[in-house]
Structure 1
Amino acid sequence: MDKSNFRRWLTLAIISISGGISFDLAYLRYIFQIPMAKFMGFSNTEIGVIMSTFGITAIILYAPSGIIADKFSHRKMMSGGMLATGLLGLLMTTYPPFWAMLLIQVAFAFTTILMLWSVSIKAASLLGTTEEQGKIMGWMEGLRGIGVMVLAVSTMWVFSLFHPDDPHSLKAVILVYSVVYLLLGIACWLLVSDGHRPAEPQQQTAFQLQDIINVLKIPTTWYCSLIIFGVYVIYASLSYSTNYLAGIYGMSLVAASYMGVVINKIFRAICGPIGGLFTTYSRVKSPTRIIQLLSLAGLITLCLLLLLTAHPTSLALPMAMILLLAFTCYASRGLYFACITEARTPTRIIGTTVGICSVIGFLPDVFVYPLVGYWQDTLPAASAYRNLWLMGAAAMLMVLVFTALLFKEMKKKARTAAASQSTEYV
């Protein structure tokens, strides 16, 4: 590495935090839906349309974002993406009309997904060797979580400084996000490299559909995609865990809210790095193997939750099971993009592979929420959550199958590489 160790980890922190918090204005509804309706004049339906506009555009742009990561300067893309996102935030402070807000959401998808998503992941992966990918990706996920948590708490504090009826309260929140984005854009320009290693020839920048087709022909692309898919089903399912504890076990809404903070904020910040530490300090160095073991633990946990749903007992046991499931999920999330590098994916197509894996792997975002919502509306609570945990168990089985297939393919590639080396020495 040509970077000092301090500079390398500082760069990883800037890349991770930038990639993590860049979506916060697009997802402003998650924390500030009521103020958005009150001060920006949107109905809840319009806010939903605003959110879905970003989501649909994002799905379209995941794959092209991978090609951007492989063919363009990481420094220019990340710096430009953060600066553009900050400027769009300043535009939001004017409380634009509904049609303009839809255009801003589309623009957010271009600045965060197309310019930042795959670029940030590839830029982080290039900071470490193949053996360090578990540690790098684990810390990346943890630093993302820390950045999101710190900025969320900070903006909530800023919001609380104003009178509840003061329309400037939400403007101040958006302004804080915008300024942070602009500062991170400058930091990315100073710290992030262009993304081409010295031994690697400069890539052609022309877009070619064949690039995507070639990556889709590689079996490991599909194995990594479906591993991410399975883990993401659990990630989406965990958003219903507090509803489950409140509906089946009578947990109070206050206690359920604290449980949600622990799962969504604290666990996201600490579990990714812990997964990376497993690959560094345990006997099991492979990120793929760690994910396989975590999915086995997740499957056992889901089977226990199925039993507990059928025969509810004390609150402590299901709480413990859900926390364990959250740990397996967030630790796996910190590692699943490391599988791409571990599978010996050529550096020149890592970005395209990340983009395609994101399109396939994040598809649960499309179907899990309406499906579970339908179960909640049409079935008794116990039946709805039984189906939820069954879906999760099926997802964990999927992860077990495709981690095994990925291992088989990696061993095949290792034998081929060893054979070619032995031939060279003959």
Structure 2
Amino acid sequence: MHAKNTTRWLTLAVISISGGISFDLAYLRYIYQIPMAKFMGFSNTEIGVIMSTFGITAILLYAPGGIISDKFSHRKVMSGAMIATGLLGMIMATYPPLWAMLLIQVAFAITTILLLWAVSIKAASLLGTREEQGKIMGWMEGLRGVGVMGLALFTVWVFSRFHPDDPNSLKAVILIYSGTYIALGIACWFLVSDGFAQSGDEAQSAFSLQHALRVLKMPTTWYCSMIIFGVYTLYAILSYSTNYLSEIYGMSLVAASYMGIIINKVFRAICGPMGGMLTSYSRWRSPTRVIQVFALVSFTTLILLWLVTRQPVSLVLAIGLILLMAFTCYASRGLYFACIGEVNTPKQILGTTIGICSVIGFLPDVFVYPIIGHWQDTLPPALAYRNMWMMGATASVLVLVFTALLMGQIKRVAAATALAKGV
């Protein structure tokens, strides 16, 4: 029994780390925007376009990815996708021109979104019971963060070993990611199960147009989608904190890069499990309620960031506010897919629901990066970042509204269930 439990957690770790770091080359800008501009020759606006190309393609692929997770072998899909992503990274390491980089981003979207996203979430979900979903999803986000953080720290260390003007520095980073992807693809082959694909009847009935319409008709699908939309907007904005600290407070590139790792990687590793623990051991048993509380804290923090950007006075204060925002964002990210389980979504349409919620929820990938990149290129830094923080505050309000609606729906369903049992 102990060996079986150890294998379960090892499998969760491989699934989570694979799903987490698979996006790091597509989102290379998160840590390496300035080196990308310097060595690959792209402007901030072009880098924003590169990001939005991935985002637009991803939006088209989330729903089909959900169908794939309901119908095909998780082991085969994850292994093939990770190895393919590694091979694409090797092409990226040649510093291709803009048109080729855009094609690579489209291919990254196919391997990471179509083939990995919903498959990895469903494969992890099947490792636990319904009661364990909050814990499983929280630890999944945390383990993703551990993998992302460890690899990011290593690559930044490698990057720092090169001369600041050596173009091979960024190339080495890209190749390290590529090799790691291929190694994890091999590990997935030996550890990940096939999911439901082995059951012929279940595989045939896993998806139908009726299932898709059923998912779209459920108000909870739209509530969960908009919660993800708001939290993911905050997540995208948070990725600019490195640039913010560098441009507004004058932090060095290396110091800002390490701060970016702490904000975007370390906090991601620790906050997901902490959010899951809050749903398990505090009086806030509901993932939706916890996200609602975090949204209120995040809104307050973003208003304060907007104010201090008008008159920057303390680097320590700015870092503290960003770290607080990072905590609420990553803890919420570890829980928002648990909201789908909290409303008792049937397992046969779980992948389809994840896909549809992802289509809507991750729309910020399409518009956040080019908008902020345009602000960076055309506005004074203080005004650009004040606009960015206000966008984040608006997203927090969105989360507050839709968590309230979802909580109301959950209470109505619980009351109806209790009444039916009483009758």
Give the TM bin, normalised by the shorter chain: 0.7 to 0.9
Instruction: Indicate how the Cα distance of structure 1 residues 417 and 126 shifts in structure 2: closer, same or farther if over 3 A, else same.
Output: farther
Structure 1 equivalent of residue 332 of structure 2: 332
Distance 1:321 1:173 in 2: 30
In structure 2, stretches of 5+ residues that fail to align are: none
Alignment of 1:312-391 (within 5 A): 313-375=313-375, 383-391=383-391
Structure 2 equivalent of residue 262 of structure 1: 262
1:282 shift after superposition: 1.5
The letter of the residue matching 2:405 is L
Q: Deviations over 1:85-123 (max 9, x none)?
A: 234345556777766555443332211111100111111
1:245 shift after superposition: 4.7
Structure 2 equivalent of residue 285 of structure 1: 285
Structure 2 equivalent of residue 253 of structure 1: 252
Structure 1 equivalent of residue 181 of structure 2: 181
Q: TM-score, normalised by structure 1?
A: 0.84
Contact 1:135–1:280 at 8 Å: present in 2 too?
yes
Distance 1:113 1:389 in 2: 28
Contact 2:31–2:261 at 8 Å: present in 1 too?
no
Structure 2 equivalent of residue 111 of structure 1: 111
1:276 shift after superposition: 1.3
1:196 shift after superposition: 2.8
Per the alignment, in what secondary structure is the counterpart of residue 23 of structure 1?
coil
Distance 1:171 1:245 in 2: 25
Instruction: Indicate how the Cα distance of structure 1 residues 127 and 370 shifts in structure 2: closer, same or farther if over 3 A, else same.
Output: same
Contact 2:296–2:396 at 8 Å: present in 1 too?
yes
1:7 matches 2:3: no
The letter of the residue matching 1:83 is I
Q: Deviations over 1:46-99 (max 9, x none)?
A: 766655443332221111111111222222221221132234345556777766
Structure 2 equivalent of residue 44 of structure 1: 42
Per the alignment, in what secondary structure is the counterpart of residue 202 of structure 2?
coil
Distance 1:184 1:398 in 2: 37
Distance 1:384 1:167 in 2: 29
Contact 2:31–2:260 at 8 Å: present in 1 too?
no
Per the alignment, in what secondary structure is the counterpart of residue 344 of structure 1?
coil
1:295 shift after superposition: 1.0
Structure 1 equivalent of residue 404 of structure 2: 404
Structure 2 equivalent of residue 16 of structure 1: 16
Aligned CA RMSD, in angstroms, stands at 3.5
Instruction: Indicate how the Cα distance of structure 1 residues 60 and 301 shifts in structure 2: closer, same or farther if over 3 A, else same.
Output: same
Contact 1:302–1:392 at 8 Å: present in 2 too?
yes
Per the alignment, in what secondary structure is the counterpart of residue 196 of structure 1?
helix
The letter of the residue matching 1:129 is T
Distance 1:337 1:225 in 2: 9
Task: Determine which structure has greater relative contact order: mean sequence separation of CA pairs < 8 Å that are 6+ residues apart, divided by chain length.
Answer: 2
Q: Deviations over 1:327-364 (max 9, x none)?
A: 11111111111111111111111111111222211222
Provide the aligned length of Structure 1 versus Structure 2: 420
1:146 matches 2:146: yes
Contact 1:132–1:280 at 8 Å: present in 2 too?
no
The letter of the residue matching 1:277 is M
Q: Greater Rg, structure 1 or structure 2?
A: 1
Q: Deviations over 1:109-157 (max 9, x none)?
A: 2111111001111111222222222221121112112212222333344
Distance 2:272 2:287 in 1: 12
Q: Does 84-93 or 225-234 show the bigger shift?
A: 84-93
Q: Deviations over 1:307-326 (max 9, x none)?
A: 44456554433332222111
Per the alignment, in what secondary structure is the counterpart of residue 128 of structure 1?
coil
Q: TM-score, normalised by structure 2?
A: 0.85
Instruction: Indicate how the Cα distance of structure 1 residues 327 and 110 shifts in structure 2: closer, same or farther if over 3 A, else same.
Output: same
Instruction: Indicate how the Cα distance of structure 1 residues 3 and 27 shifts in structure 2: closer, same or farther if over 3 A, else same.
Output: same
1:123 matches 2:150: no
Distance 1:158 1:389 in 2: 32
Instruction: Indicate how the Cα distance of structure 1 residues 262 and 376 shifts in structure 2: closer, same or farther if over 3 A, else same.
Output: same
Q: Does 312-321 or 404-413 show the bigger shift?
A: 312-321
Alignment of 1:47-126 (within 5 A): 51-90=51-90, 102-126=102-126
Distance 1:91 1:81 in 2: 16
Instruction: Indicate how the Cα distance of structure 1 residues 197 and 263 shifts in structure 2: closer, same or farther if over 3 A, else same.
Output: same
Distance 1:340 1:401 in 2: 17
